[in-house]
Amino acid sequence: MNRQWLYAKPPAGKIGKDTFQWTETAIPQPRAGEVLVRTRMLSLDPANRAWMMGKTYRDALEPGQVMSGFVIGEVVESKAPGFAPGDIVEGDWGWQDYAAMPARKLTKRTADAPLEMLIGPLSVTGLTAYFGLLEVGQPKPGDTVLVSAAAGAVGSMVGQIAKIAGCRVVGTAGGQDKCDWLVRELGFDAAVDYKAGGVFRALRAVCPDGIDVYFDNTGGPVLDAALGLMNLKGRIACCGNVSQYDVEKPAPGPMAVPGLIVTKRIRMEGFIVMDFYDRRAEAEARLARWIAEGRIKAMVDIVDGLERAPEALIGLFEGTNRGKRAVRV
Ligand SMILES: NC(=O)c1ccc[n+]([C@@H]2O[C@H](COP(=O)([O-])OP(=O)(O)OC[C@H]3O[C@@H](n4cnc5c(N)ncnc54)[C@H](OP(=O)(O)O)[C@@H]3O)[C@@H](O)[C@H]2O)c1
């Protein structure tokens, strides 16, 4: 059987287990040009929730469809040239055991790297951190770099890449334990618990020379505080807005935009990681080398069992993860 989670209905406010519906159906048969894939590792991303809010960089989720999500899987049967049983592939076939996928929607991956690396650090997560920081943020040695959701998948890699780039690195995260972990284990210079309140004052204390690059994963109060501390010609890389995904109605944007953007000549730029996929090989090779050399600790947070996918996603909005959260199927 093919076990699936369907997207059942739009949440009113926060997502809950009733946002999803479990079902079991027959394993699909691949047609000419298709490949039957079996899910091995399912990526849980804050964006999964944002896709419920309406059209984003992709179409909105429709109730009744299989819940979407990025997957690493294995080819079971191929009716397309270039794919053979046992190949490791990535694609967006969502929260289910099997899918018959058009071959053009699959990307072959190496069988040499562990699946835990292919689901995040050597894929979307690592590439987002790499291109968002280095290309959009453009850090220079000696800069102060602030990153929010710093103990999460993207944030934990951004901080470590910024250290490699010779920067002073500050993170924000929920809770003192996570903040201590960022400094002790991941080499951050300082970390601020945004849930403790007074985030502007706390950040000002640990960024005495201001902020040159802010890698924004959260929007919300941390963005407000960062804007006030940005240096002249600072760069804000807008990666995501996780503080506003799991809500009934997103809060209005910061009052300091555009005033501080003008007076401080700040460049605030959004990006989607796919924008950089023509340079994917180069970035993955560097990330793999930094991980192998121990310069980046690639943190993965594995939850076992497809049946636990809803709770694993809900947990992202409660901050229960450290590093890249994925479900092993
Ligand atoms: N632009 C792109 O192409 C791209 C690609 C991938 C991801 N993203 C974005 O990158 C960001 C991080 O994604 P990720 O996959 O690395 O997830 P993640 O950081 O591993 O997980 C989400 C984290 O967000 C924090 N969080 C939850 N609610 C929050 C709130 N109200 N305010 C502040 N922090 C909150 C939680 O940590 P705490 O305990 O610290 O609260 C949680 O661990 C998201 O905004 C995502 O949409 C963008």
DSSP 194-259: GGGS-HHHHHHHH-TT-EEEEEESS-HHHHHHHHHHEEEEEEEEE---GGGTSSSSPPPPPTTTTH
pLDDT of the residue at 210: 98
Distance in Å, CA 105 to ligand 1 centroid = 26
> Which of 123, 170, 217 has the most ligand 1 atoms within 8 A of CB, as the residue to mutate?
217
Residues of the chain above pLDDT 70, percent: 100
At 7-33, the pLDDT tens digits run 999 999 999 999 999 999 999 999 999
When mean pLDDT is compared across 144-153, 215-224, 251-260, 291-300, the lowest value belongs to: 251-260
pLDDT of the residue at 307: 98
Beta bridge partners of 101: 35
For atom 37 of ligand 1, the residue with the nearest CA is 319
pLDDT band at 236 (very low <50, low <70, confident <90, very high): very high
Record: fold of 2-119+299-328:
Quinone Oxidoreductase; Chain A, domain 1 (3.90.180)
pLDDT of the residue at 201: 98
> Which of 49, 238, 242 has the most ligand 1 atoms within 8 A of CB, as the residue to mutate?
242
For atom 20 of ligand 1, the residue with the nearest CA is 152
Average pLDDT over residues 72-101: 98
For atom 42 of ligand 1, the residue with the nearest CA is 319
For atom 11 of ligand 1, the residue with the nearest CA is 217
Is residue 55 within 8 Å of residue 97, measured between CB atoms? no
Residue 289: in which H helix or E strand, if any? helix 280-292
Distance in Å, CA 187 to ligand 1 centroid = 20
Distance in Å, CA 151 to ligand 1 centroid = 9
At 168-191, the pLDDT tens digits run 999 999 999 999 999 999 999 999
Question: Any idea which residue has 């706390």 for tokens?
Answer: 202
Distance in Å, CA 128 to ligand 1 centroid = 12
pLDDT band at 317 (very low <50, low <70, confident <90, very high): very high
Average pLDDT over residues 259-284: 97
pLDDT exceeds cutoff 90 at 111:
no
- The binding-site residues of ligand 1, defined as CB within 6 angstroms of any ligand atom, are 45-47, 124, 128, 149, 151-155, 173-174, 178, 217-218, 220, 239-243, 271-273, 316-317, 319, 321, 325
Average pLDDT, the chain: 97
Distance in Å, CA 242 to ligand 1 centroid = 5
pLDDT exceeds cutoff 90 at 46:
yes
- The DSSP annotation for 169-186 comes to EEEEESSHHHHHHHHHHH
pLDDT of the residue at 110: 86
Average pLDDT over residues 235-246: 97
Task: Specify the amino acid at residue 182.
Answer: L
For atom 24 of ligand 1, the residue with the nearest CA is 149
Question: Any idea which residue has 């018959």 for tokens?
Answer: 100
Beta strands 107-109 and 88-91 are antiparallel
At 191-223, the pLDDT tens digits run 999 999 999 999 999 999 999 999 999 999 999
Record: fold of 124-274:
Rossmann fold (3.40.50)
Average pLDDT over residues 41-52: 97
pLDDT exceeds cutoff 90 at 302:
yes
pLDDT of the residue at 214: 99
Distance in Å, CA 152 to ligand 1 centroid = 6
Give the start-to-end residue ranges of the domains of the chain.
2-119+299-328, 124-274
Of all atoms in ligand 1, which is nearest to the CA of residue 238?
Answer: 1
pLDDT exceeds cutoff 90 at 243:
yes
